[in-house]
Amino acid sequence: METGIVTESTGSRYIILTPDGRRLETRLRGRLRLNGSRTTNPVAVGDRVLYEETPEGATITAVEPRRNYLIRRASNLSKESHVIASNLDRALLVATLFSPVTNTEFIDRFLVTCEAYAIPAAIVLNKLDLAAERPDELDEFIAIYETAGYTVYPVSATEGTGLETLRELTAGKTTLLTGNSGAGKSTLIKALVPDADVRINRISEYHHKGMHTTTFARMYPLAGGGNIIDTPGIKGFGLVDIEPGEVFRYFPEFMRHSPDCQYYNCTHTHEPGCAVTAAVERGDIAPQRYISYIKLLDEDGKYRQ
Ligand SMILES: Nc1nc2c(ncn2[C@@H]2O[C@H](COP(=O)(O)OP(=O)(O)OP(=O)(O)O)[C@@H](O)[C@H]2O)c(=O)[nH]1
Ligand SMILES: [Zn+2]
């Protein structure tokens, strides 16, 4: 029995990278299920799997325990979740200030998801060539996220600015890249993985046919070691398994202030003596981040003021 790494999944078939560097199409043996999970996909991109090759084809017989994974709700109404990818060193969100504007709430949901699953996260601010014309907004964006505790990497995928830093950051590591449509994720992947045949339209074709709401990630090995994982078609991060009372734990800058709240069970909304709202008023926490927090709380209709 050999161990391979899942690089692509289409729901029923999985492409794995074998130890001798082949890309092998496999299926699952029987009904391989992860214990107790309600995920739509028992095997995800990034998984290390045991496989067997027989004259009838190759089959995955077991999934090795995941070091970590990133998960989201399969769809807005679904109770099922979808494992986006596993065994990650870092997740990067490709965001843009203009054309298109990346919504702050989308960014913060991504960051909260990464915090909840203990995946180091950072932001790649693409289209720097456009943003450079509006330096105040650029500085403000960087300040918001660096104050929160995240690194922002300003780049221009088309002009090549800042890409050397990204190459250093991703070398030898498994890095997931995500972002809204139009932010330039495909352009960036082509720049980082020159031989990648990034299939841009495949998933959106499915969407037009209304076939499914889940998306399938795809892993590209980097020439010098490490991998980039592309996540086509992700429109949002539906939070999974996070109780409203826990949401603030996934805002690192809130966690720095919350020990000073007067009430141990402070929700940081209406309580007197709340150190988090005081920090927002002083300007130590960005109002945009606080608004995202309130919206995430309101998702369940709890903790409304
Ligand atoms: N000005 C500018 N345009 C860019 C930059 N990076 C990408 N673009 C353009 O933005 C558009 C969208 O880029 P894509 O790479 O297709 O974006 P994507 O995020 O992969 O979007 P989907 O393919 O819809 O998922 C294209 O027209 C790119 O040429 C950049 O750094 N500066
Ligand atoms: Zn508080």
> Structurally, how many domains does the chain consist of?
3
Query: What pLDDT does 216 receive?
Result: 79
ipTM: 0.97
Look up residue 199 and give its two tokens.
């299939």
Query: Measured from the CA of 156, which atom of ligand 1 is nearest?
Result: 31
Q: What is the mean pLDDT of residues 229-254?
A: 86
Q: What is the mean pLDDT of residues 75-104?
A: 88
Q: Are residues 255 and 151 in the same domain?
A: no
Q: Are residues 23 and 99 in the same domain?
A: no
- Confidence class for position 72, pLDDT limits 50, 70, 90: confident
Query: What pLDDT does 210 receive?
Result: 42
Query: What pLDDT does 213 receive?
Result: 41
Ligand 1 pocket member 156 (CB < 6 A): yes
* CATH number, domain containing residue 125: 3.40.50.300
Q: Are residues 215 and 272 in the same domain?
A: no
Q: Are residues 83 and 220 in the same domain?
A: yes
| Bridge partner residues of 28 (DSSP) | 60
Q: Is the pLDDT of residue 24 over 90?
A: yes
Q: Are residues 84 and 147 in the same domain?
A: yes
Q: How far is CA 168 from the centre of its chain?
A: 20
Q: What is the mean pLDDT of residues 50-79?
A: 87
Region of 140 please: left (phi>0), alpha (psi -120 to 50) or beta.
alpha
Query: What pLDDT does 270 receive?
Result: 95
Query: Measured from the CA of 130, which atom of ligand 1 is nearest?
Result: 1
Q: Are residues 108 and 45 in the same domain?
A: no
- Residue 304 within a domain: no
Q: How far is CA 4 from the centre of its chain?
A: 23
State yes or no: 76 annotated in a binding site: no
Give the model confidence (pLDDT) of 205-221 as tens digits: 444 444 444 467 999 99
Q: Are residues 147 and 270 in the same domain?
A: no
Q: Is the pLDDT of residue 117 over 90?
A: yes
Q: What is the mean pLDDT of residues 89-112?
A: 94
Residues near ion ligand 2 (CB < 5 Å) are 261, 266, 268, 274, 276
- Confidence class for position 88, pLDDT limits 50, 70, 90: very high
Query: What pLDDT does 12 receive?
Result: 79
Boundaries of domain holding 273: 244-298
Query: What pLDDT does 39 receive?
Result: 72
State yes or no: 126 annotated in a binding site: yes
Q: Are residues 55 and 76 in the same domain?
A: no
Give the model confidence (pLDDT) of 184-209 as tens digits: 999 999 999 988 777 544 444 444 44
Ligand 1 pocket member 196 (CB < 6 A): no
The residues, ordered by sequence, that sit 6+ positions from 215 with a Cβ below 8 Å of its Cβ are: 82, 84, 203, 231, 232, 233, 234
Give the model confidence (pLDDT) of 133-184 as tens digits: 899 999 999 999 999 999 999 999 999 999 999 999 999 999 999 999 899 9
Helix orientation angle between 287-298 and 275-282, rounded to the nearest 10 degrees: 140
The residues, ordered by sequence, that sit 6+ positions from 120 with a Cβ below 8 Å of its Cβ are: 89, 90, 91, 114
State yes or no: 184 annotated in a binding site: yes
Determine what percent of the chain is predicted with pLDDT higher than 90: 69
